């Protein structure tokens, strides 16, 4: 996963353009993708697909011709969506177009101007402080023209048509944790799911932030009712503890599953309530859709100093953190896939389990008591309203033990999904 982040990291991306396509090309080496190109001007809900932006070169050069700010050194150096400019101007005129982080003088900020025509450069405060007065050559070789918004999907077929969406944004340049780490976890999660026969159909959405998710929602109105659960992956590789942000509903099944899995794992973690600020969970959870979509991060957006700066680099992303995020996704979807509601087919009194061979195999085993108790709990709560996660949480038993018990009881004809 870290090697994939390393490949994706340097690409100059934005919400549209060749950088997004190059990103999807690399993801496409790992997963078969269905690619989509949506023309500029397309109405998507309350938004319109913007013009496509591409930049070939951008720099500020001093009187000797030395490039003191250079896109070739980092994709962060140009203000995202900068309009073309070719001029020579004094530093006093250039200053309003230069963006720095005075509190972190060696870092370069990430800044954009998607929907307001502007141009500019991002540089370290240290570099700015060293610039002498005088004239500077300023060049942004970019195009802002009618084109397309690009996004892609990968589908892991399930046993049912009901879907789980896993969404991550592919628009940020030269930011390793936000969000190439999320992309890498999504890619490897999709590959793992393909190795088993999942219950749900899993749809992975690789799209630019905000406008990409809005475009997907606008173009998939007929599929929305099939989306039963969802997870946005972002900031998935830093060394902070895992953080789960609930869906807008607050009690969606994905919320319950992540809360249970994180608590049962005894990992350090946080559970945050929904807010309409953050990543694309706010689009999927908007009132008209109100999907059960939460967000899994390590340190959430805006909560670490390196966020949206050049310090969000390859060293900031830890392989072991990526592996841990993937493991939690694996555990969560294993619970989600097996979580069912059952009806007890012998609800009058306790059925005779021994006569059905459900006890004999347990005798003498260390976990026999737990397995027997799990069966009794499943039988007791199988009234068609409680699911296996309810059983696990009320009984205090591991979800796996409850799921195994349910399988045995179903096989004996005592419960029905």
| pLDDT 10s digits, 396-417 | 999 999 999 999 999 999 999 9
Distance in angstroms (rounded) separating the CA atoms of residues 295 and 302: 14
pLDDT for res 360: 60
Distance in angstroms (rounded) separating the CA atoms of residues 206 and 101: 30
pLDDT for res 364: 44
pLDDT for res 241: 98
pLDDT for res 358: 85
User: Which residues participate in the annotated binding site?
Assistant: 172, 178, 308
Q: Which residues of the chain have pLDDT under 50?
A: 363-365
Phi/psi of residue 353, nearest 5 degrees = -75, -35
Distance in angstroms (rounded) separating the CA atoms of residues 141 and 58: 6
pLDDT for res 93: 98
pLDDT for res 73: 97
pLDDT for res 257: 98
* Both structure tokens of 71: 């896109």
Q: Which of these, 46, 116, 48, lies nearest to 80 by C-alpha position?
A: 116
Q: Which of these, 54, 3, 19, 301, lies nearest to 171 by C-alpha position?
A: 19
pLDDT for res 361: 54
User: Which residues participate in the annotated binding site for Zn(2+)?
Assistant: 172, 178, 308
pLDDT for res 368: 67
Contact 296, 325 (CB under 8 A): yes
Domain boundaries, the chain: 2-50+148-338, 52-145, 341-416
DSSP string, 120-158: -EE--HHHHHTPPSSEEEEEEEEEEES-EEEEEEEEE--
Compute the half-sphere exposure of residue 13: CA atoms within 13 Å on the CB side of its CA. Answer: 28
CATH number for the segment(s) 52-145? 3.50.30.90
Topology annotation, domain 2-50+148-338: Aminopeptidase (3.40.630)
Architecture, CATH, for domain 341-416 = Orthogonal Bundle (1.10)
DSSP string, 37-82: EEETT-EETTEE---EEEEEEEEEE-TTS-EEEETTT-GGGB-BTP
């Amino acid at each position: 996963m870290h090697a994939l982040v390393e490949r994706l990291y340097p690409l100059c991306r934005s919400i549209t353009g060749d950088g997004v396509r190059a990103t999807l090309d690399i993801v496409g080496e790992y997963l078969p993708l269905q690619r989509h190109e949506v023309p500029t001007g397309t109405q998507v809900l309350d938004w319109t697909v913007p013009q496509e932006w591409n930049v070939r070169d951008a720099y500020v050069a001093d009187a000797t011709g030395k490039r003191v700010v250079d896109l070739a050194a980092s994709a962060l150096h140009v203000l995202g969506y900068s309009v073309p400019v070719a001029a020579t101007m004094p530093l006093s005129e250039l200053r309003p177009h230069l963006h720095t982080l005075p509190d972190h003088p060696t870092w370069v900020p990430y800044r954009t101007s998607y929907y307001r025509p502007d141009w500019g450069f991002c540089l370290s405060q240290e570099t700015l402080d060293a610039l002498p007065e005088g004239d500077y050559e300023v060049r942004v070789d970019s195009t802002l023209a009618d084109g397309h918004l690009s996004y892609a999907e990968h589908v892991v077929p399930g046993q049912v048509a009901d879907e789980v969406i896993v969404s991550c944004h592919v628009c940020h340049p030269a930011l390793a944790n936000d969000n190439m780490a999320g992309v890498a976890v999504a890619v490897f999660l999709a590959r793992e799911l393909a190795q088993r026969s999942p219950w749900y159909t899993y749809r992975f959405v690789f799209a630019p932030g905000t406008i990409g998710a809005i475009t997907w929602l606008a173009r998939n109105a007929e599929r929305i009712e099939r989306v039963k659960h969802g997870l946005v992956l972002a900031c998935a590789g830093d060394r902070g503890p895992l953080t789960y942000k609930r869906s807008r509903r607050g009690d969606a099944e994905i919320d319950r599953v992540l809360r249970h899995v994180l608590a049962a794992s005894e990992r350090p973690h946080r559970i945050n309530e929904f807010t309409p600020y953050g990543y694309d969970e706010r689009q999927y959870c908007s009132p008209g859709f109100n999907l059960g979509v939460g967000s899994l991060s390590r340190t959430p957006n805006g909560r670490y100093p390196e966020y949206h700066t050049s310090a969000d680099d390859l060293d900031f992303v830890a392989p072991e953190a990526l592996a841990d995020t993937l493991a939690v996704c694996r555990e969560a979807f294993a619970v989600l896939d097996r979580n069912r509601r059952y009806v007890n087919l012998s609800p009058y009194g306790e059925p005779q389990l021994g006569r059905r061979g459900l006890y004999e195999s347990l005798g003498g085993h260390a976990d026999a008591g737990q397995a027997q108790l799990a069966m009794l709990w499943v039988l007791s709560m199988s009234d068609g309203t409680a699911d296996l996660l309810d059983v696990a949480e009320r009984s205090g038993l591991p979800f796996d033990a409850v799921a195994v018990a349910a399988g045995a009881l179903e096989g004996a004809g005592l419960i029905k999904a």
